[in-house]
Amino acid sequence: MKKTIIILSAVLLTGVILHAQGDTQKLQQDVAKLDNATSVNDYQQLAAGFARIAESEKTQWLPYYYAAFCNAKTGWLNEDDPDNIEGYANKAEEQIKKALSLLDTATQKKELSEVYCVVSMVNRARVFMNPATYGRQYGPPASMYIQLAKKANANNPRALYLDGWEKFSTPKMWGGDKNKAKELLLAAQQTLAGNISAGIEPHWGKKEVDDLLKQLK
């Protein structure tokens, strides 16, 4: 009997390791796909995939983070179809809250910074539903979370990108500044170029930053 238990324990352990590897692999695959995602369809497919991984890895913040990011990004991509944002924003909010609850906010500053970026994006997506009215309600938290993300990790290129995006998109009257935007985006570009490690850690942003810089020329 004892033997059986030992064998079983060993088996169990192997199973866990194997499985962890399986999920990591899946996550890795999807994160790699994310690098080439462009359309709502791409992001939605990935959002479903990440949600699926999150379902089995309920203690990992990354799958939730990526699922939330894909849904928030869908909200951004639907900027011209404002009736079709709220559902994605709701879903993203639910997922990013889960990701946040899995972090130790005292020590995991880098991770926290990434999560705050997505929280900001969710709020910004809500602004897109109707900037004239939702702007007043969701615009301030959208900016606030960028600042919190920068506070948690001053070198997070995604926080720099979002900050730059905001400076770029806001009319001058309300604090927009194209020069400052360029500065932030260039800094983001530089940081992004500095760490090309394409693992499962959040590393999106190059495409977004490059696109925006093109518009700034």
Partner 1 sequence: MPIQLKYFCVAYKNKNIMKLLKLPDILFILLLLLGVSSIKAQTLIRGKVTNTKKEPLSDASIILKNTPTGINTDSAGGFSLPISVKGKQVLRISSVGYITKEIDINPQDSVLYVDIVLKEEGKMLGEVVVSAGSFEATDKAKGASLTPMDAVTVAGNGGDIANALRSLPGAQQIGEQEGLFVRGGTSAETKQFIDGALLPNPNYASVPGVPQPARVNPFLFKGILFSTGGYSAIYGDALSSALILESVDLPDKSSASLHIFPQDVGAGLQELDSKKKSSYGVDVHYGNLQFYNSLVPQKPRFFHGPEYLESDANFRIKTSKTGMLKFYTNYGYNNTGMRNPDIDSTNLLSSFQTKDQNIYANLSYRDYLSAHWKIDAVVAYNYDKNTITNKLENQQFQQVFIPAYPYNEKNSIINTESNFAQVRAVITRTFAHNQAIRFGAENFYTNTNYTYNDTTTTLTGNTTAAFAEGDVYLTKNIAAKIGVRAEHSSLLDKTVLAPRISVAYRFADGGQINAAYGVFYQQPDITYLVQNGTPGFAQATHYIINYQKKANNRLLRIEAYYKQYNSLVTTNPAVNDNGKGYARGVELFFRDKRTFKDLDYWITYTYLDTKRMYLDYPSEIHPDFSTPHTVWVVAKKFFPNINLSANMSYSLATGRPYYDMQTGINGKTFISDHGTTNMYNDMNLSFAYLFTMFKKWKEKDFSGIGFGMNNVFGTKQVFGYNYSYNGLNKVPVVPPATRSYYIGLFMTFGIDRRDDFINNNL
- Applying CB under 8 A, the residues found at the interface with partner 1 are 4-5, 7-8, 11-12, 14-16, 18-19, 22-23, 26, 41, 44-45, 47-49, 51-53, 55-57, 71, 74, 80-83, 85-88, 90-91, 129-130, 132-134, 136, 171-174, 176
3-state secondary structure of 43: helix
Tokens of 175: 């604090």
Q: What is the closest distance, in whole angstroms, from the C-beta atom of residue 53 to partner 1 in the complex?
A: 6
93 vs 114, which CB is nearer to partner 1?
93
85 vs 99, which CB is nearer to partner 1?
85
Q: What is the closest distance, in whole angstroms, from the C-beta atom of residue 180 to partner 1 in the complex?
A: 15
Q: Which DSSP string corresponds to 147-197?
A: HHHHHH-TT-HHHHHHHHHHHHHS-GGGT--HHHHHHHHHHHHHHHHH---
124 vs 150, which CB is nearer to partner 1?
124
141 vs 206, which CB is nearer to partner 1?
141
Q: What is the closest distance, in whole angstroms, from the C-beta atom of residue 115 to partner 1 in the complex?
A: 21
Q: Please state, in angstroms and rounded to a whole number, the distance separating the CA atoms of residues 183 and 149.
A: 18
Q: Please state, in angstroms and rounded to a whole number, the distance separating the CA atoms of residues 198 and 196.
A: 6
134 vs 204, which CB is nearer to partner 1?
134
Distances in Å between the Cα of 102 and the Cα atoms of 57, 98, 111 are 11, 6, 10
Task: Find out whether 189 and 158 touch, Cβ atoms under 8 Å.
Answer: no
Q: What is the closest distance, in whole angstroms, from the C-beta atom of residue 184 to partner 1 in the complex?
A: 19
18 vs 193, which CB is nearer to partner 1?
18
Q: Which residue shows structure tokens 């518009």? A: 215
Q: What is the closest distance, in whole angstroms, from the C-beta atom of residue 152 to partner 1 in the complex?
A: 27
Q: Which long-range contacts (CB under 8 A, 24 or more apart) does 52-60 make?
A: 53/23, 53/26, 53/27, 54/95, 54/98, 56/23, 57/23, 59/102, 60/23, 60/102
Q: What is the closest distance, in whole angstroms, from the C-beta atom of residue 12 to partner 1 in the complex?
A: 6
